[in-house]
Amino acid sequence: METKPHHRFPLQNHLLYILLLITSNLLTFYLFSSPHGSPASSSSLPVPPPPTSSFPSEYYAFTGPHKLPFGHNPNMDSSLLNPPLAQPCLLSGSFLTTFLSYNVNSSCPDDEPLLQKLLLRGCDPLPIRRCREIKRWVTPSTNPLDFTIDEVLSLAKPHNSIRIGLDLGGGSGTFAVRMRERNVTMVASTLNLNGPFSNFIASRGIIPLYTTVGKRLPFFDNTLDIVHSMHVLSNWIPTTVLHFVLFDLYRVLRPGGLFWLDHFFFVEGQMEEYVSVIESVGFEKLKWEIGRKLDRGAELKEMYISALVQKPLKNSW
């Protein structure tokens, strides 16, 4: 049986093959590590503007770099600390400047819409600020829609007559806790949607009321001094159902009792419909504010009503 002869490549062919392999690897390494030849070169990406003097002093105070008190740290392999700042924050220079323009060691500005804009633009995490966050319902706000508890209680007649009440849709119980600090006992209604809210409210020393919106409230007529509702009553509820709910709130409030409608949400075209429903119940207006909800953009024409109304002292029925 005849066998085919083996073909042997000369030594120089092997050396040439190895040389080509090494050359191609070196070329590939150069192209993908070079800023000029990389497919995702820095020239094709948005580059944030370098920090300039237009940034407030708090920008530099936060971003550093800051020298470590004991010099070089082997764990960090550095003697400097650079706090994290997301690159998109620098792409929103005017918003970032406003966010970091505040008085150190004081209360933070009431700028929740600004925070939302920065987060939506990818500025996450937000820079840390050296100020105290505003406590909702406690710290006075420049936004007329934000009433404070002290302001509301001061409008009660007779003075210091608010003792017991209901927080409709009490969430985690924070409003009820704030009221307890002012010697007002609150029951907080809630559902365990996406979390054990009833258990959490109870752990804070607040009585949780497990009930739904639209159900007759388990209170006798003319018993409560105040009812508060934030966000729960809004345009997701059919108008007729809302009408029933408001009349039931009217029923359980004593004459002179207060209903605090906190940030009732709707869109501009619904204003006349919802205002007429609220006004038809028979409450007397003590405070009434209508304003735009701007955190998602003015073009959506979203609105809020914040109102403090009172059940009449006379002829309540």
pLDDT tens readout for residues 205-256: 999 999 888 889 999 999 999 999 998 888 988 899 999 999 999 999 999 9
Q: What is the pLDDT of residue 75?
A: 85
Q: Whole-angstrom Cα distance, residue 244 to residue 234?
A: 14
Q: What is the pTM of this model?
A: 0.64
With the C-alpha atoms ordered 222, 225, 230, 235, is the resulting torsion angle positive or negative? positive
Q: Is residue 281 packed enough to be buried (19+ CB in 10 Å), middle (13-18) or exposed (0-12)?
A: middle
Q: Whole-angstrom Cα distance, residue 122 to residue 130?
A: 22
Phi–psi pair at 193, nearest 5 degrees: -80, 120
Q: Count of H helices and E strands in the chain?
A: 10, 9
Q: Whole-angstrom Cα distance, residue 9 to residue 6?
A: 10
Select from 3.30.70.260, 3.40.50.720, 3.40.50.150, 3.40.140.10 the CATH code of 149-310.
3.40.50.150
User: Three-state DSSP class for 134?
Assistant: coil
Q: Whole-angstrom Cα distance, residue 24 to residue 22?
A: 6
Q: Which residue numbers in the chain have pLDDT < 70?
A: 1-18, 20-21, 24-53, 116, 316-317
Q: What is the pLDDT of residue 27?
A: 64
User: Taking the C-alpha atoms of 191, 194, 197 and 199 in order, what is their torsion angle to the nearest 10 degrees?
Assistant: 110
Rounded to the nearest 5 percent, the helix, strand and coil shares of the chain are: 30, 20, 50
Q: What is the pLDDT of residue 42?
A: 38
